[in-house]
A and B are shown apart, each in its own frame.
Chain A
């Protein structure tokens, strides 16, 4: 089906390629997790969108681990889905082992996760994109960006007007999602070669050149790695611990009630451990490993097996053996990311129980790549100095499919809005993990690949996986324009039903001794005077909506479809209420915009040189972002606030201080 579609799309492109008007509203470069969400979001907003990728066949490829979601990352998948993104639905289609991590630690930190069938995932993404209206997909390698003088009416020193792909193709907005391909190098043992993923051609040097030299963007270098893929038949899983999936798979997407994979068809994972011999092999062969010897920053939380045994010697380290797909002959040894020479990788592997006869299908390797320091971006993920240019994914210094998808959605959404002359939008850290991710990136920058953790979200009790639809779907339709009306209608129904149910739970009550009679297994404290509502009862750990429905069957039976959500909502509501004031304050500060071209060095307010330098370097977009900067003093914040108020009223100083 896919192959049939592509030639037709190519023809569409050829017919329009010689017109001199704007050929597209949005061009997305790259077909990974960021690029696919960006292209889909741009098209949903209504932009004529072109996705350019080296190989249509690798759109939606899982370059590293065959899994989606997890703790913190699962939140991102739910949020992308709530904004009508692709990855949640793709996960439900391709998942072959579903589990909710942290099940016993509280619903705010539940981590929905699935092992994926690589092929099914790719197929779903490709078929979804290729059937998206207004979206064209083109195979090719972008040579460079077309850069022109800026539109003088908007802030910025440059303007990107399209890409060069043999011939120039123009667009109002360009989204770069080049992943590890920007000046990427692959490392195995002592050899290195240019490239961003094994088996794919390196990207054009022209793109890196444009970014650094022509646009003058600051870049840095990061590294990451992937483990060898192991032949399934060569693994003795009887020596590893079986780790089954959840009995009832929970779908990622709010619009799915079940997953494609039937519960009983799910494949298990296996757990095994490293041995002291693994550490010995690593130590004896360190000199054969140039990736690990360089000081390029790698992640602390996804380190290679080399880094793990060097940093924490004398310990056992976990190795997960994960299925790669329903029909795949391979296993993925999570935790064994390595850049040793292939023969050493094999020796190392065979020192692990269950892998003593393992055969390697593809060796592990490391990648080093350029990223653009993300403090140069606005919260809309637009490059502040360049009109029409948006960045998403690893190019911004993040790691992980989910982090990439989340940024891709926001960048694509804003690229489209900007191209269609609508104001760009941001998600606040008070309403979503996506907001936390982007705010951390653009206001703090990165020193190592950035990954989402739940501990990064200060409003964790409010930003739960279960309520992502209420947080984002309504806004996504009403304000952002990236959500379909069907999904919106469903979210409205859910919201209204939950509100009715909460009101019912609040109004249904009984005296303590009646409750004791009806629910004899619950220890209701005797000394409570007056009636207890259903809401009060739900605060007891063991009380479920089902139990309450047995007491008030008529009033509560209409809400049983949401029994789990209602229980969570009831327990968390008091904590969320406590956070509301603080959230409101942050939101208020986020509405106070700081002009993008403010010259902090000549601003006629009392600010120390130190603070001016910080502000000039980071160029926060809002007062809220400014207050979170390291080194900002209360006095400086008030002076800025004062300035913002004043300039909003008169706008005079603004023009005075605009950079010429």
Chain B
């Protein structure tokens, strides 16, 4: 899903995603929290505030003062929550633009409904990764130290959002969106072919009838999808932690230790775990989805190979990887041990978010354990590590502390594990896409250029979910489907 990277607001030819758009995001972390903060920034912020918190136009609350209001859906007027709202007229705001904050109750249902309501306000859309920060930067609201870390911050957010999108796009929903995108691309290519070539070439008028039909079908299907309250799939919430490592390193034992029950089958036979075993956990108050995966090795067994493929797929989506290594296999001296671990990590899964779990300390001498614990501390290029024994629970407390702190950091990033936000993004983009398709219908007979503009816009909106579609890709379809000779 490399294309997700390109679908940011920084992307060049992205019609309808200009800086002047108003953006929103959940800016508090997720997990168990009493209050969630939703931030809105941009010229339509006052509109969002007036139509969702019942202020009449021109009668805004006093600046930078919390006011208790009912927060309602702007279309149905249904009350979604009661909470505090704050109004920050630009330039005295985090982003330098007119901004609004909604402080609402932290339950996922409330958050989802407020985000979706915001997405339906005209001119307001979910923020792309790093967009708030970038606006603040452009408005000169960040100091130099913050600016230096900006690229890394945005990188982290983009990656988190990419992983989140991967999770949602790997299932039926992803296939559905991709199929729509594919059909829309063909529609656009055929309209464009008709515009650019039909005067000189044999392009049958029938292709437009075909496009009419497909556009109408797409509209109907997408509208139906938006109405469907089940939304297709249960979302995997929480920080995604994946246990990985070679066969028989003790991955399933670690899972069972962490969830304090035999959730996975444990045996001394390498390759026991063949599918991904998911368990929802609560670690220090934060929701975690812990996944045990098949041991990574070359296997000729078909079932095991499929298990390994799934393990690799899950690793790509992970927020945090627990890399389990059998420490009885590690060389005794520190330097060779470090090289061994480095090579091992590199071979299995090079990931920046990783915690190294050196398991089975019960199989090595205490003195050896101490030597590794001290010696590996000073080795550069190794991720943080813990020495534990799932058998004797030696080192478990330290490991849990380390895990808790990592999970806490990850949860602090509002984008990393928030499927509701991704869902809200999808919804907004889908709604815009459907609306743009209506432009095709409106102009179909009067002005084909403006009708094509509708399909193009619809595809751009859908492309925010499925990956951007460039002009060259459309031309490729044209030249594949038609013989263009002039």
Interface residues, chain A, with chain B CB atoms under 8 Å away: 70-72, 101-102, 104-109, 111, 300-303, 308, 311-312, 315-318, 320, 334-335, 444, 453-456, 458, 460-461, 541, 571-572, 575, 578-579, 581-582, 584-586, 589, 605-606, 624, 627-628, 633-639, 642
Contact = CB atoms under 8 A, between A and B. Distances in A.
Given A606-B151, A624-B12, A453 B475 contact: yes
B254 to A, nearest CB: 33
A581 B449 contact: no
A176 B386 CA distance: 66
A106 B448 contact: yes
A107 B448 CA distance: 9
Nearest to A457: B471
Contacts of B202: 315-318
Contacts of A624: 12
B450 interface: yes
Contacts of B151: 605-606, 635-636, 638-639, 642
Interface residue range, chain B: 35 or more
Contact of A317 (B158, B456, B485): B485
A627 B134 CA distance: 15
- Which of A108, A111, A455, A634: most chain B Cβ within 10 A? A634
Given A318-B200, A334-B486, A453-B196, 19 more contacts: A71-B197, A101-B200, A105-B194, A105-B447, A105-B448, A106-B448, A106-B450, A301-B197, A301-B484, A301-B485, A317-B485, A453-B475, A458-B471, A581-B20, A584-B20, A585-B20, A586-B12, A634-B5, A635-B130
* A-B residue pairs, 5 tightest by C-beta: A106-B449, A106-B447, A628-B12, A635-B155, A581-B18
Contacts of A109: 195-196, 448-449
B137 interface: yes
Interface in B333-390: none
A310 to B, nearest CB: 11
B119 to A, nearest CB: 19
A628 B11 CA distance: 7
Contact of B15 (A111, A458, A633, A642): A458
Interface of B: 5, 8-21, 128-130, 134, 137, 147, 150-152, 154-155, 158, 192, 194-197, 199-202, 443, 446-451, 453, 456, 471-472, 474-475, 478-479, 483-486
A586 B14 CA distance: 10
Contacts of A105: 194-195, 447-449
A584 B17 CA distance: 12
Contact of A579 (B15, B201, B448, B479): B15
B483 A455 contact: no
Contacts of A312: 483
A111 B199 CA distance: 10
Given A458-B13, A579-B15, A606 B486 contact: no
B134 A638 contact: yes
Contacts of B154: 634-635, 638
- Which of A72, A105, A311, A579: most chain B Cβ within 10 A? A105
Contacts of B14: 582
Contacts of B147: 642
A606 B156 CA distance: 13
A102 B195 contact: yes
B128 A634 contact: yes
Contacts of A605: 151
A638 B486 contact: no
Given A101-B199, A634-B8, A335 B485 contact: yes
B199 A633 contact: no
A589 B197 CA distance: 33
- Which of B128, B472, B485, B486: most chain A Cβ within 10 A? B485
Contacts of B196: 71-72, 109, 453-455
Contacts of A584: 18, 20
A318 B5 contact: no
A453 B446 CA distance: 21
A101 to B, nearest CB: 4
B199 A634 contact: no
Contacts of B474: 455
Contacts of A107: 447, 449
B12 A606 contact: no
Nearest to A461: B453
B200 A582 contact: no
Nearest to A336: B485
B195 A454 contact: yes
B155 A633 contact: yes
10 contacts: A106-B443, A106-B449, A301-B486, A318-B485, A320-B200, A582-B15, A589-B12, A627-B10, A633-B155, A638-B130
A455 B15 CA distance: 14
Contacts of B12: 586, 589, 624, 627-628
B486 to A, nearest CB: 6
A444 B12 CA distance: 13
A637 to B, nearest CB: 5
Contacts of A571: 447, 450
Given A581-B20, A582-B16, A303 B450 contact: no
Contacts of B137: 638, 642
A130 to B, nearest CB: 33
A633 B158 contact: yes
Contact of B486 (A320, A444, A458, A586): A320
Nearest to A640: B151
A112 to B, nearest CB: 12
- Which of A72, A572, A638: most chain B Cβ within 10 A? A638
Contacts of B19: 581, 585
A635 B158 contact: yes
Given A106-B449, A317-B202, A318-B202, A308 B483 contact: yes
A176 to B, nearest CB: 27
B449 A108 contact: yes
A414 B423 CA distance: 50
A455 B130 contact: no
A582 B19 CA distance: 8
B336 to A, nearest CB: 29
Nearest to A311: B483
Nearest to B482: A312
A548 B158 CA distance: 54
A455 B202 CA distance: 19
Contacts of A633: 5, 155, 158
Contacts of A71: 195-197, 199
A302 B134 contact: no
A447 B15 CA distance: 26
Nearest to A542: B446
A227 to B, nearest CB: 11
A455 B471 contact: yes
Given A101-B199, A105-B195, A318-B202, A638 B485 contact: no
Nearest to B451: A106
A102 B129 CA distance: 42
Nearest to B147: A642
Given A317-B485, A635-B158, A301 B195 contact: no
A635 B451 CA distance: 35
